[in-house]
Amino acid sequence: MTIALSSSLDLFATTVLDRLDAQSLRRTVTETTPQDAVLVHRNGKELVSFSSNDYLGLAHDSRLKKAAIDAIHTYGTGSGASRLVVGNHPLFEELERKLAELKGTEAAVVVGSGYLANTGIIPTLVGPNDVILMDEYVHACIHAGAHLARSKVITFRHNDTEDLYALLEINRPQHRHALIITDGVFSMDGDIAPISALHALATAYDAWLMTDDAHGVGVLGSNGAGSSHTETPSIPVDLQMGTLSKALGGYGGYLCASQPVIDLILTRCRPFIYSTGLPPAAVASAIEALRIIEEDTELCARPVNNARLFTSLLNLPEAQSPIVPVIIGDTEKTLKIARHLESLGFLVVPIRPPTVPAGTARLRVTFSAQHTKDQIRTLASLIRPFVGRGA
Over residues 193-221, the pLDDT tens digits come to: 999 999 999 999 999 999 999 999 999 99
| Separation of alpha carbons 137 and 7, rounded Å | 38
- Which overall architecture, per CATH, does domain 64-295 show? 3-Layer(aba) Sandwich (3.40)
| Separation of alpha carbons 209 and 288, rounded Å | 29
pLDDT at site 25 = 85
* pLDDT mean over 72-89: 94
pLDDT at site 247 = 98
pLDDT at site 24 = 84
Strands 107-111 and 131-135: unpaired
Strands of 346-347's sheet in order across: 32-34, 39-42, 45-49, 346-347
Contacts of 121 (CB under 8 A, 6+ apart): 145, 210, 239, 241, 255, 265, 269
Name the pLDDT band for 307 (thresholds 50, 70, 90): very high
Q: Are 47 and 341 in contact, with CB atoms under 8 Å apart? A: no
Helices and strands of the chain, counted as H and E runs = 14, 14
pLDDT tens, 96-128?
999 999 999 999 999 999 999 999 999 999 999
Name the pLDDT band for 388 (thresholds 50, 70, 90): confident
pLDDT value at 5 more than 60: no
- Within 10 A of 229 (CB to CB), how many other CB atoms are there? 25
For the chain, percent of residues with pLDDT exceeding 70? 98
Question: 64-295: same fold as 28-59+297-386?
Answer: no
| Separation of alpha carbons 280 and 59, rounded Å | 16
Mean pLDDT, the chain, whole residue set: 95
pLDDT tens, 372-385?
999 999 999 999 99
Eight-class DSSP state of 320? S
pLDDT at site 81 = 96
pLDDT value at 2 more than 70: no
- Which overall architecture, per CATH, does domain 28-59+297-386 show? Alpha-Beta Complex (3.90)
The domain segmentation of the chain, as residue ranges, is 28-59+297-386, 64-295
- Within 10 A of 311 (CB to CB), how many other CB atoms are there? 18
Name the pTM for this structure: 0.94
pLDDT at site 1 = 47
For the chain, percent of residues with pLDDT exceeding 90? 92
Helix, strand or coil, per DSSP, at residue 4: helix
pLDDT tens, 127-155?
999 999 999 999 999 999 999 999 999 99
pLDDT tens, 242-301?
999 999 999 999 999 999 999 999 999 999 999 999 999 999 999 999 999 999 999 999
Name the pLDDT band for 363 (thresholds 50, 70, 90): very high
Greater pLDDT, 200 or 27 = 200
Q: Characterize 9-37 residue by residue with b for buried, 16 or more Cβ atoms within 10 angstroms of its Cβ, and e for exposed.
A: eeeeeeeeeeeeeeebeeeeeeeeeeeeb
Helix axes 161-171, 195-204, angle to 10 degrees: 20
pLDDT value at 4 more than 70: no
| Separation of alpha carbons 154 and 164, rounded Å | 9
Name the pLDDT band for 82 (thresholds 50, 70, 90): very high
Hey, which residues are catalytic here?
187, 215, 246
pLDDT value at 389 more than 60: no
pLDDT at site 362 = 96
